[in-house]
Amino acid sequence: RAEIGNALRSMHHEEDTKLMLEMGVNAVRLAHYQQAEYMYDLMDQSGIITWAEIPFIGPGGYADKGFIDSEAFKKNGEEQLKELIRQNYNHPSICFWGLFNELTERGDNPVTYITELNELAHSEDPTRLTTSASNQNGGLNFITDCIAWNRYDGWYGGMPDALAKFLDQTHNQYPQLRIAISEYGAGASIYHQSDSLKRPNPAGWWHPENWQTFYHIENWKIIHERPFVWGSFI
C-alpha cells in the first residue's frame, strides 16, 4: 500500500479479507512468506482455505539460481518450514504447506532438498497436504502431494488459449498428478481505456482494462471447464 509498503496494520488485513469475500474467493495463497498472525485468524473466521508457504523462491532477475547447496542455506530453509508449521498448526483454514516458488534445476539442483523439505513437512504435520508453485519442467514437480503452476498466457506472451493446451497436455501425460494454477493475471489501470482489444506490452506503461477483463474471462473459462484442476489463484 502507498506510504506503508508491506508493513500492513490490522485494518488493512481486514480490508483485504472483505475484498476477497466480495469477490467470492474461497481459497487464498499467502505468498511468498509467512504472514501476520492476524491474517491467519481472519482466514479462519472467514472460512477461506489457505495455502501458507516459506520464502524459497526461484532466481527471478536477481541471480542465476534460487537454491545454494550449502548447509547454512538448507538449515535456514528447514528452520523456516518448522517455524511456519509449528506456529500455525492450529489454524483450521490452512490446508496446504507450500515448499517453493518458481525454482529451477539450473545450477545447484534443488530436487533432493525439496524432497527433504517435503518429508520434514509431513513429519511435522501428517494431516495437511504439501504443494508448490512451479514454472518449470523437471523432477521438482513430482515431489509434493500436489503441484501448481504459475501461468501468464496472454500477458507475458501468447494468448489465453495456450493455458488450455498446457493443462490438457500435462493431464494427459501425467493423469495421476494433482495440478492447479498458483498464479495468473494481467495488469490494468482504471485510467487506461481502449476501444480495441489488443494484448499490451507487459513491460510498457499502457495497460487498458478491457484486455485484463478479456484475459480473466478466458482464463477462468479454461480452468472451470477442467475438473482435474484442483484450484486457481489470481
Interstrand relation of 49-53 and 129-134 (parallel, antiparallel or unpaired): unpaired
Q: Over 165-216, what HEC string results?
A: HHHHHHHHHCCCCCEEEEECCCCCCCCCCCCCCCCCCCCCCCCCHHHHHHHH
Cell of 173: 501425460
Scanning the structure block, which residue is given the C-alpha cell 518449470? 136
Is residue 52 within 8 A of residue 88, CB to CB? The reply is yes
Q: Which of 14, 22, 83, 102 is catalytic?
A: 102
116 is catalytic: no
φ/ψ of residue 145, rounded to 5: -60, -35
DSSP three-state, residue 81: helix
Is residue 153 within 8 A of residue 159, CB to CB? The reply is yes
Element (H, E) at 183: strand 179-183
Which residues form the catalytic set? 102
